[in-house]
Structure 1
């Protein structure tokens, strides 16, 4: 199946009215904000504007992103642009779109082992030295962080989008995980550096519904210095998967016992 391509404003407007907000629209080159951007149907930012000549539309995201004409507008690497207004209304659009777009790419575990071979480091743990361990961690963290930046793109608590300040933060620690768990996005959050520092030291964690919970091992004053408050209602901005809930259970237990 192909996406429907509209080149006449009236035809597109008629389709948009019929669909409400149940379908998907790809807008190529729609100005700075919406350039090569995915929207839900009915989004005001996807309305036809002067000097625009086409829209690609489909009832499902899978059909939209499998259309070769649409893929021709998309980046060869990195993230996919999704309307921020649509993402706020129905969280997870960006993540689903990126997973669909990059589904054919090599699995992270294969990429991890390939890069270790280039570094001259065995992929298994047999005879592991401290140097090998550090290289394995650096390579794995780099692969995982790039994947998270492509899929999630911003801090899942604060919304910060500056890549240099974002960290791939493991729920189950690296040293307790096998390679599959280390490279799984289900075992990670993408967090701003200050939030990651607290999470990594088990001074904060998250409930199953994403609400931030706090260790008694850190003072309110220290939290305030990091821009965090016990009464701030900070939370993960998307639905937490069942797999992540399993990882978080152990992390919350560690958080309750943590001390600075």
Structure 2
């Protein structure tokens, strides 16, 4: 198969399914042959990234599993890798060092997308897993764009964790009321002007029919845009 890319997914599976939907919808296609070539690795049994980051001495390190994917899939020579998990970007430098094949960086892309729509000095909030927030996976990229970075309070973080793990991951329930409460607190209590969804489970909330908040940036949607753009550029060479 020529001109394909590899998607490292399954973290979680429903979020990966949304990414596939996003790239297919964004691809200009009039027949089967117009769609993109890609390999999906839905590695659902990889150890939880946030759990490891919050208790490294008591949890299994996901990095060797990610490196194994890079090694085995790299042998197929994809044009680039896509990592559909925000928290997994904690290991990005190690993954990048393990291959000559480019890996798209979702947090960096999201911050740059925000900079195209909002001026420097904008109060940009970030929500995601506790591992993502406490390890500041998004922080340098948001700050590099000249934004004022806002972290969630402990109360908001607990609500976000409930939505991600208890509702979406465990029950496959998209709790719109809880999601709206979280956004309300970020916008109204912390005076955020923009909120970035630093977890692909949260991307599922923005996919609900008829629900699009212009002041919410979905990094997975941004990643899908870049994936299609890059894949088409290779096809057209």
> TM-score range, shorter-chain basis?
under 0.3
Q: Which has the higher helix share?
A: 2
Q: TM-score, normalised by structure 1?
A: 0.24
